[in-house]
Amino acid sequence: MVLFALVASHQNVDLNTVARLSTGALGLSEEMVRSGPLRGAVTLSTCNRLEIYGELEDTPGVPSGAALDRVLAELAEQIGSRAGLDPEFVADSLRAFTDSGAARHLFTVVSGLESAVVGEREITGQVRRALNDAQQAGTVSGKLQRLFEAAARTARKVGTQTALGERGRSIVSVALDLADDVTSGTWTSRRALVFGTGAYAGATMAALRDRGCADIEVYSASGRAEQFTENRGGTPVGTAELAAALERADVVIGCSGGSAPMGAAAFPAGSRTVVDLALTRDFDPAVADLPGVELITLESVRVAAPDETRESVDAASGIVERAAQEFAASQEARDMDAAIVALRKHTMAVLDAELEKVTSHHGCTAAQEQIELAMRRMVRSLLHTPTVRARELAAQGRQDEYITGLAALYGIEVPAPAAEESAPPAAGAPPEAATRSQAAG
């Protein structure tokens, strides 16, 4: 089985491209699993990245490398078609990782080492939600389930064994720090208006309260503001009240990623700070040209994000590397288990055929039982050394040599593991998919 990851993030493309690619990837994982090319898939979409993790379905007679190239080309074609982008541009925008490289990348991401704010902990929850969404959609294969479980363990180790992220910095906190620098007054006296009811909106509400902001209004174009504020506090704002809420607000924070950005003409005159944390923009960039308006974007946050100490990053990187090696070793051992089962099945089939001959020739006698017992003991003895050797080679990363040897000596083709049942939804998994963005409003 081949695991792969396709990645477009703030590290290799601009955020506008990330947003367009994310739009093109909506629902694509589910389609690719149901139509057959993929055994499983999980899509991670955040304000900074689009990542598609997949496990290839075996195709008899097709080398895994060729099958992977075909699937990657199909994904690029589909994303490009849906997003209105050239497939070659899409392919160039996506970095590909396979097997241990895919695991290492996910472990690096979930630990906060690739975030715009290095060490931020929001990414851990975003990865967990991506897995939950895939479980709800029934697209998680057993191998992907194990990969994401290992990623969660790695993130916990980084959180408990290093100082990475201990200062609590996040995209939201850095954005609010920037807003604090350019907004008059203090948070206790400021009025805030939040667009959206997704994960980032919830994190923003919590961060505003932590800073002493008590006057928070919430607007949702989808009409979920009232339910959202019941659980988190704040005052819901309807469409008819939006203009008045904008007039009152000292700080306007966009977290929804609505389909059409609000234009500059919708903003009343006056001084205010506008913070746009939505991947697909909640506000037209022309807002920055309005008199008295300061616009803070995700790009602003990325540039302003402070560096973590080298010691913390090195320690976290070491944990990630060890976790990636352990995951690779565990997968190699599972592959070798399949080879051992194939050898045992082959050998016992030969034995059963021989016993069938004995029974046919001599009939049912006590001697048959003695012969069967002796032959089975003989087979177990013959299998002992090959079984021990299989484990030794797996530990050395040489399982391919063993599998090739079986084919050369016995003509045994080691079958791929049977398709595993999709992992059940995790307890507490959210009822609605969020693959389009963590900031759905």
**Residue 243 is labelled as binding a ligand:** no
Q: Which residues make Cβ contacts (< 8 Å) with residue 200, sequence separation at least 6?
A: 47, 122, 171, 172, 255, 277, 278, 438, 439
**Residue 213 is labelled as binding a ligand:** no
Instruction: Round to whole Å and give the CA distance between 115 and 47.
Output: 10
Q: Do the Cβ atoms of 6 and 72 come closer than 8 Å?
A: yes
**Residue 160 is labelled as binding a ligand:** no
**213 is a catalytic site residue:** no
**Residue 115 is labelled as binding a ligand:** yes
Q: Is the C-alpha dihedral spanning 100, 106, 110, 116 positive or negative?
A: positive
**Residue 332 is labelled as binding a ligand:** no
CA angle 422, 148, 170 (to 5 degrees): 135
Instruction: Round to whole Å and give the CA distance between 436 and 257.
Output: 9
- The secondary structure element, H or E, covering residue 293 is strand 293-297
**Residue 342 is labelled as binding a ligand:** no
**Residue 122 is labelled as binding a ligand:** yes
Q: Do the Cβ atoms of 220 and 162 come closer than 8 Å?
A: no
Closest CA to 144 of 95, 115, 96, 102: 102
- The secondary structure element, H or E, covering residue 108 is helix 100-110
The backbone torsions φ and ψ at residue 6, rounded to the nearest 5 degrees and listed phi first, read -110, 125
Residue located via tokens 């005052």: 235
**Residue 170 is labelled as binding a ligand:** no
Q: Catalytic one among 47, 213, 255, 364? A: 47
**Residue 31 is labelled as binding a ligand:** no
**Residue 40 is labelled as binding a ligand:** no
**Residue 255 is labelled as binding a ligand:** no
**Residue 121 is labelled as binding a ligand:** yes
**Residue 201 is labelled as binding a ligand:** yes
**Residue 197 is labelled as binding a ligand:** yes
Query: Residue 417: helix, strand or coil by DSSP?
Result: coil
The backbone torsions φ and ψ at residue 11, rounded to the nearest 5 degrees and listed phi first, read -80, -20
Q: Do the Cβ atoms of 313 and 320 come closer than 8 Å?
A: no
**Residue 198 is labelled as binding a ligand:** yes
Closest CA to 118 of 316, 318, 384, 389: 316
Instruction: Round to whole Å and give the CA distance between 441 and 439.
Output: 6
Q: Which residues make Cβ contacts (< 8 Å) with residue 209, sequence separation at least 6?
A: 216, 233
Annotated binding site: 46-49, 115, 120-122, 126, 196-201
| Residues annotated as catalytic (active site), given as ranges | 47
Annotated binding site for substrate: 46-49, 115, 120-122, 126
